[in-house]
Amino acid sequence: MAFPPRPRRALLVVLATFFVLAFGPALAHAKRHPQFEPTDLELEDPGTMELDLQLGLVKGSDAHRLVLPDFEFDLGLLENLELDIDGTYSIAGQPDGTPLFLDHSAPDNLWVSAKIGLYDGRDDAKHAWALGLQVGPKFPTGSDEHGVGVEGLALIARMDGRVHLVLGIGGLVDPHLTATPRPWGFETGLDLDLDLDDVDTWSLLGEIAFQGFGSPDPTQLNATIGLQYSPSPKLDLSVVAEAGFVPGSDPYGIFFGISPKAALW
């Protein structure tokens, strides 16, 4: 999809380091079910990568977490096909313990997916509809988890002038902890990107997300709002606040983001 987009070897080294540190089995500890994050339908050009990193502090539904980082790696493969790798590495505290005493790692499952553009229909340069899919396996990240899961979303995007909206509807079957039922359920969310000027330097960001489970996992409903500054087409900086509205969601959090982009070939 041709919506407006959101150095080289060093970025790949950094990304590889995060994978090794965040998803080594030796780092496994107590798990919570991660919150659903709505996605966009921006597809990178073939050979172009974007690394979206968010660092922050979260008051979790069970304990505080320091997120180091929440990451998404996107790599354009074809005009309508992108490889996405999503994961989070956190340092967390004990449930009902000292609020800021963080004593163990808490990596989330790793989602490796294909984002596919199915339709891109434009009325003109500022108005368009688009359809897509994002689907792929979810890999367990600790020795106390087993089984490969899967997650898939149908994506419906609308660009209307400065307003960019993407509705995601889908479901998931996650890896699970030993002696607990495998998490599975329905998820939906809305992603908003509102351009605040004519040159795409400042944007208002927003999301609202819902997860309901058929397994005995708590319902989640959360929202985010933030501001993004893009000093160049190759770099986005952001600050985002999060709030949860039901007991299964994280009550609140704050994130600082950086998203560099580079051509690999």
Are 69 and 98 in contact by the 8 Å Cβ rule? The answer is: no
DSSP string of 43-72, one letter each residue: -PPBTEEEEEEEEEEEE-SSSEEEEEEEEE
Structure tokens given for 21: 């540190």
Residue (of 204, 169, 205, 174) closest to 189 by Cα position: 169
Contact 49, 5 (CB under 8 A): no
The pLDDT confidence band at residue 166, using thresholds 50, 70 and 90, is very high
pTM score, two decimals? Answer: 0.86
Mean pLDDT of the chain: 87
The residue extents of the domains of the chain are 8-263
Which residues are within 8 A (CB) of 166 and not within 5 positions of it... i.e. 6 or more apart?
38, 39, 40, 41, 155, 156, 157, 158, 190, 191
More confident residue, 181 or 166: 166
Fold (topology level) of 8-263: Porin (2.40.160)
pLDDT digit string (tens) for 11-46? 444 444 444 344 343 333 445 678 899 999 999 999
Of residues 28 and 84, more confidently modeled: 84
Distance CA 258, CA 146 (A): 32
Res 213: pLDDT = 96
Q: Is the pLDDT of residue 134 over 90?
A: yes
What type of residue sits at position 53?
Answer: L
**Above 90 in pLDDT, residue 102?**
no
Exposure string (b/e) for 159-185, b if CB count within 10 Å is 16 or more?
A: beeeebbbbbebbbbbbbbeeeeebbb
Dist CA 112 CA 259 (whole Å)? 19
Rounded Cα distance, 45 and 76, in Å: 5
Write down the pLDDT at residue 97. 57
What count of other Cβ atoms lies within 10 Å of the Cβ of residue 121? 9
